[in-house]
Amino acid sequence: MMRTCLLLIKCLPAALIVALFFISCGQSDKEIARLMERAETVLQQQPDSALHYLQAVENPGGLRKMRRMDYCLLLLQAKDKTGRDISADTAIVEVKNHFLQKKDFEKATLA
């Protein structure tokens, strides 16, 4: 029993350091917002740069729904403006329905 407690005490700091490392490795919400803002800023004039910024987002599927829908809309626009075929992209329907439900008709039209 005493051995187990001592082992736990010795391993706890290392486990905490490893846990903090993995928590801090992901992109912050602020970083993602900055990438999306940059993408939106250059979308009309430099859609390839916008696409590059959006592809730098590490885990778009893990974003909150509203942010994910904004991300998907920007991504669809960037792909379309760079000549990629988006006609089979199922995100179009999801994004459009989301913005219609939120009564954001401008963004729904863009989808």
- The pLDDT of residue 27 is 82
Burial of 81 (0-12, 13-18, 19+ CB in 10 A): middle
The percent of residues in the chain predicted with pLDDT above 70, rounded, is 77
Residue pLDDT, tens place only, 50-59: 999 999 999 9
